[in-house]
Amino acid sequence: MIQDTPEVIELRAGSTRLAVAPEVGGSITRYASERGGTAIEWMRPAPPDAIAARSAGGTSSFPMVPFSNRIRDAAFRFRGRTIQLPQNFRPEPHAIHGHAWREPWAVMSQSDAALTLEYRHPADAWPWTYAAQQAFDLTDERLRIRFTVTNEAPEPMPVGFGLHPYFVRTPRATVRANVGRMWQADAGLMPVSLVPPPPQLLLEGAGLSPDATTLDNNFVGFDGQAVIEWPEWNARLRIDADPVYACLVVYTPAGRDFFCVEPATNCIDGFNLADAGRTDTGIIVLAPGDTAAGDVTFTPEVA
């Protein structure tokens, strides 16, 4: 039975806190540290009304599975079969971010500084049964999230997964990342062509300002390293992702108080791009019983 107010589980390690709401799409609702008597919010804290409404899009970070970002017109072909999915983000005609961000997750294990959640999906419009887990491991020095997906269907399943963290936007905040080319998008935010990335985004660049650059783009060739800096706080957050996370989405919407840096295994519309013959989509094909897994580690640093 779903409670009126979703449960929020708080993990503690030294001066660092991580809050997770299993019923709200297995989402993080706060990740913060206290330094010198001041709380530093490493991710955008979720307001109580977002938690009460079970709105994962209003949280600090939510999981994406069995795909990240959009599938054009909510349909793709896999091994000669057309898969038609619900258009779950109307008025957009596409499918976005998979299932688990809008479903409750079950607590599998819990301690003071560790938590494992599981989401199980029966076959429906997505014609494969699968299980996903998030294992949160918190220390005062870092947060590690291990994501696993297991194909429980009797036939091969294509899959992608990722994390969708939101970060606090300040006037001087910057993002840098080791990425390859960028998918230029059309008006429907679908990939059109690969172009060079903004030079300021690269790790050796000056840093991309979310206030100065509006992006909702997928980058391929992500080598797992990204850095977010907040000069106003003399703080930065390192993101280190396992090689399975070959893509990165940077979302810097104009006029908002947040920005997103999203490690993902697959690129936008990756299923359709793979069906068209591309080999750089990050789509994983799991045999029955097989599991894909990867860690993302967030390491705060304060000067």
Is 284 inside a domain boundary? yes
Q: What is the torsional sign of CA 72, 182, 101, 274?
A: positive
The model's confidence at residue 3, banded by pLDDT at 50, 70 and 90, is low
Write phi, then psi, for 281 (nearest 5 degrees): -90, -20
Q: Kindly state whether residue 118 falls inside one of the protein's structural domains.
A: yes
Asked whether residue 2 is domain-assigned, the answer is no
Q: Mapping DSSP to helix (H, G, I), strand (E, B) and coil, where does residue 90 land? A: coil
Q: Give the integer Cα–Cα distance in Å for 105 and 123.
A: 17
Does residue 182 lie in a domain region? yes
Summarize the confidence of residues 177-186 as an average pLDDT: 96
Radius of gyration of the chain (CA): 18
Residues 166/257, Cβ–Cβ less than 8 Å = no
CATH number assigned to the domain comprising residue 249: 2.70.98.10
In terms of residue numbers, what domain contains 33? 9-302
Say whether 40 sits in a helix, a strand or coil: strand
pLDDT over 50 at 1, yes or no: no
How many domains does the chain contain in total? 1
Q: pLDDT tens across 94-110, in order?
A: 999 999 999 999 999 99
Per-residue model confidence as pLDDT tens digits over 110-160: 999 999 999 999 999 999 999 999 999 999 999 999 999 999 999 999 999
pTM (two decimals):
0.96
> CB atoms < 10 A from the CB of 82, how many?
9
Short-list 199, 238, 236, CA closest to 219: 199
Nearest to 165, CA basis, from 252, 241, 254, 62: 62
Considering the domain boundaries, does residue 180 fall inside one? yes
User: Residue 81 is encoded by which pair of tokens?
Assistant: 């079969």
Under 8 Å CB-to-CB from 128, ≥6 apart: which residues? 66, 151, 152, 153, 155, 157
Tell whether 80 is covered by a domain. Answer: yes
- The pLDDT value given to residue 187: 86
